[in-house]
Chains A and B, each alone.
Chain A
C-alpha cells in the first residue's frame, strides 16, 4: 500500500511531501501571477478599441471619485489607469527609473527638471477646448513655457509658506521674526522642506532676495535656527499632522502652510488665523503635462482638457480650496467662500515668490539637513 511507504522509507516519504508542497506553492504562485497579469476581462474590452488606455501618473487629488467618476462617464471608451505619487521627488525618481505613463502632474518647481531630463512632450493648446477659459495670466505664466513651447497646463494654484496660528494662544503675527519668539517654546511647526524652511529664516533675517543666498548667508541661517531651536516643536512633513497638532493645542504656529489649515480649523470651532507676515509668502502652481512615453496623445489631451473644465475646477476650489485656473469656476465661487477660505486670484501669484530651485540647491539641502539634525 502506498501509505506504507512512509513507514518503510521515512526520508523519501517526507521528501515527497515537501516536493509536492513546493510544487503546489509554485503552481499557486504562478496561477495567481498569471491571473493578476490578465487584462481586465470586463466590458471595457470593447472600449479599448476606441479611445484606448491612458496611464495617469498623478497626485491623489486627480483620482477622487467626485471628479474622476464623471470623467469616466464622459469618456466611457477611455480606460484610465491611475498611478499615484505622494511627493514630487518620488515622482521624479520613478520616472527616472523608467516608469511609463501618458500624463503626469508636476508643480512649477519640478517642471524644469522634467523638461531638462527630456521627459515631456510639448503641448498644443489649440487641442484643448478649455484652454482659453483659463486666466490669461496663468496661460502666459513664464515657467510653463520653454522656447515657445507649452509644457504644463495649469490646473491649480495657491499660497504656501504663510503662517497659521492659534488666535486664542498668541497675539497677532506681523513679522516673520515673531514666530521665533522665545515665549513660544516648543510650539512652532516648520515645514520640513529645505527651500521653504530656509526662505522663512531668510525673511526673519530680512533678506531681500531669499532665492539668492550664498554660503555665508546659509551659515547665518543655520546659526539662526540653532539659536531659536527651542521654539520649534518639530519639522513637520504632513499637513494633516500639523493641523492635528494645532487643533490639539500641542502646537500654536504652523510656518510654511497655506490658508486651508485655518479654514478647516475654524470649521471645527478652533480659533485659527492665516497670515502672510509682511505680505511675504510663496506661491505654488501645479498642472498636467504629457510624457514622451505617452502612447495615447488623444486620450492625454481629453484628460487634461477635462481637468481644466469648469466642473472639476469648481469642485477643487469649493471643496479643497485650491485656486481654480478656470476663470468661470472662480467667478462661480460664492464671495463669502472666497473670503473665508483664503482662496486668492491668480494676480496674487505675482505678488509673492514663486517656488523655484535656488541656483545652489545642493548646498541648501546640505545646510537644511544640518539644521534639522540640530
Chain B
C-alpha cells in the first residue's frame, strides 16, 4: 500500500514536471501534425480548392507520379552524397580532437566549431553567395594569384554550391556526436588490440570505426533528415537544383494544393522515421545509452 502510494506520487510528480513540454508539443507539434494528416486524406486542387471527402489519391500520386519519384530519388542521392562528404571531413576532425588532444582542449575546439551556429542560418547562406559567386571571394582570390584567367562558375548556383553550404552548416552536427563516441571508447581496447599485434590502421578499422558507428548514425540523422526537407539552401544557392523540400513548399505556397502537399510531408516524415529506426537498429545507437 505504502509502495503504491509512493509510486502514484512519483507518477504525479513526473506528470507535473512534463506538463510544460506536453502543452508546448501539443500546441506547436501535435495539433499541426494532426491537421496535416487530416488534410492529406482530403481531395485537393490547385489554388486552395479543398473538398473534405476521404481519399487516398494524394498518397497514390506521391508514390506513383514520375515527378515526385524523381525528385525523391534525387533528393536522397544529394542527401546521402552530402552526408558522406561531411563524414569524410568531420571524422578526422573528431578523431583528432578525441584522441590526439589532451585535457579539455578538444572540448574548447568543439565550442569554437559550434560558434558559427549562433549566426542566423539565412545569413550564413547569403554569405556563401558572396564567396562562391563569379566575382566572389574565391574567384577574386584565384585570379589575383594568377591561378586562373576566367572565373570558375560551376560551383555557384549548382548542386556543388548546395553541398558546400550544407557541409559548412552541418559540420558541427557531425563532429560533436563523433567526438563523443570516439572519446568514449576505452583506452585499454586500443592497447589490447596493439598487444594482439594490430597496427594503427588495423586498430582504426577493427576498433575505432566499429565502435564509433553510433556516432556516425547520429550524425547521419542530424544531416540526412533536415536535408530531406531542405528548401532554403537549394533555393538560394542551388540554381536549378530542385529538392523534395522545394516541391512541398511550392505545393503549399504557389500551387496551393494543401492536401497533396500534406500527403507529401507525411510521407516524408514516415520515410525518415523508418530510416531512423533502421539506422538505430543497424548501427547500435542504443549502446550510447547503456
Cβ of B135 < 8 Å from any Cβ of A? yes
* Inter-chain contacts of A186 with B (CB < 8 A): 153, 157, 239
Are B157 and A19 in contact (CB-based, < 8 A)? no
Known contacts: A11-B13, A233-B239. The answer to whether A25 contacts B20 by CB under 8 A is: yes
Complex Cα gap A146–B67 (Å): 39
* Residue among A19, A22, A232, A369 having the largest count of chain B Cβ atoms under 10 Å: A369
The one of B17, B67, B153, B239 that contacts A370, using a Cβ cutoff of 8 Å: B67
Tell me the smallest distance from the CB of A360 to a CB of chain B, in Å: 11
Are A373 and B48 in contact (CB-based, < 8 A)? no
Complex Cα gap A237–B135 (Å): 22
Contacts of B227-243 to chain A: CB distance below 8 A:
235, 238-240, 242
* Inter-chain contacts of B156 with A (CB < 8 A): 250
Are B242 and A374 in contact (CB-based, < 8 A)? yes
Which residue of chain A is the closest to B9 with respect to CB atoms? Answer: A11
Complex Cα gap A66–B281 (Å): 62
Interface string of B143-180 (1 = CB under 8 A from A): 00000000001001100000000000000000000000
Are B157 and A234 in contact (CB-based, < 8 A)? yes
Are A250 and B134 in contact (CB-based, < 8 A)? yes
* Inter-chain contacts of B19 with A (CB < 8 A): 22
Cβ of A279 < 8 Å from any Cβ of B? no
Which residue of chain B is the closest to A364 with respect to CB atoms? Answer: B46
* Inter-chain contacts of A18 with B (CB < 8 A): 16-17
Are B256 and A373 in contact (CB-based, < 8 A)? no
Are B240 and A362 in contact (CB-based, < 8 A)? no
The one of A93, A249, A250 that contacts B157, using a Cβ cutoff of 8 Å: A250
Complex Cα gap A249–B250 (Å): 28
Cβ of B71 < 8 Å from any Cβ of A? yes
Cβ of A96 < 8 Å from any Cβ of B? yes
Contacts of A224-243 to chain B: CB distance below 8 A:
229, 232-235, 237
Complex Cα gap A25–B134 (Å): 51
Tell me the smallest distance from the CB of B70 to a CB of chain A, in Å: 7
Q: How many residues of A contact B (CB 8 A)?
A: 31
Complex Cα gap A93–B156 (Å): 34
* Inter-chain contacts of A87 with B (CB < 8 A): 253-254
Known contacts: A90-B253, A373-B67. The answer to whether A113 contacts B47 by CB under 8 A is: yes
Complex Cα gap A11–B16 (Å): 12
* Inter-chain contacts of A96 with B (CB < 8 A): 48
Cβ of A119 < 8 Å from any Cβ of B? no
Cβ of B255 < 8 Å from any Cβ of A? yes
* Inter-chain contacts of A233 with B (CB < 8 A): 157, 239-240
Are B13 and A92 in contact (CB-based, < 8 A)? no
Are A250 and B133 in contact (CB-based, < 8 A)? yes
* Inter-chain contacts of B256 with A (CB < 8 A): 89, 92-93
Cβ of A248 < 8 Å from any Cβ of B? yes
Cβ of A361 < 8 Å from any Cβ of B? yes
Cβ of A15 < 8 Å from any Cβ of B? yes
Tell me the smallest distance from the CB of A195 to a CB of chain B, in Å: 11
Question: Can you list 27 A-B pairs, Cβ within 8 angstroms, ordered by A?
Answer: A11-B9, A18-B17, A87-B253, A89-B253, A89-B254, A89-B256, A92-B48, A93-B48, A93-B256, A186-B239, A229-B240, A232-B240, A248-B133, A250-B134, A250-B153, A250-B156, A361-B46, A365-B46, A369-B67, A369-B250, A369-B255, A370-B67, A372-B242, A373-B71, A373-B242, A373-B247, A374-B240
Additional 10 contacts, C-beta under 8 A, given A92-B256, A186-B153, A232-B240: A87-B253, A89-B48, A92-B48, A96-B48, A229-B240, A250-B153, A361-B46, A372-B242, A373-B70, A374-B240
